[in-house]
């Protein structure tokens, strides 16, 4: 993973400014998955077009036509080899969605393994 992007992501995850959601990158309550936080950084950096309401669900936002995992364009930009990076045998979305890992704990995993 690219060091500068990793540091931005870690800072955002540890900022306390995000509400953790699950099952989608971002929902209509502005709750985000850890991968959604990375997507938001990519939007602000101009890598991809802004978030838009998903046409098929009533409660989710999409970015680059994705609602659940990182769009490949973001993974490539960040220097990741997967749209759901694997850490110790599980994708980051798993750690996010089981609710046993808050954003700070997920940041620790990213810092150590990516």
CA distances, 84 to each of 17, 18, 55, 72, 109 (Å): 23, 20, 23, 10, 14
Chain-wide mean pLDDT for the chain?
89
Closest CA to 82 of 113, 105, 107: 113
| Confidence (pLDDT) at 63 | 61
| Confidence (pLDDT) at 105 | 97
Q: Percentage of the chain surpassing pLDDT 70? A: 85
Query: Residues 49-84: pLDDT tens digits?
Result: 776 666 666 556 656 566 678 899 999 999 999 999
With 0.85 as the threshold, say if the pTM is over it.
yes
What average pLDDT does range 34-52 have in this prediction? 89
């Amino acid at each position: 993973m690219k060091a500068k992007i990793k540091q931005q992501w870690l800072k955002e995850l540890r900022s306390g400014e995000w509400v953790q959601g699950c099952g989608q990158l971002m929902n209509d309550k502005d709750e985000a998955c850890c991968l959604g936080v990375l997507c938001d950084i990519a939007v602000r950096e101009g890598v991809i077009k802004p978030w838009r309401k998903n046409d098929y669900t009533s409660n989710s936002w999409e970015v680059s036509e994705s609602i659940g995992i990182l769009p490949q364009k973001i993974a490539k930009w960040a220097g990741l080899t997967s749209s759901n990076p694997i850490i110790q045998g599980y994708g980051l979305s798993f750690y996010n969605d089981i609710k046993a890992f808050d954003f700070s704990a997920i940041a620790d995993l990213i810092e150590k393994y990516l």
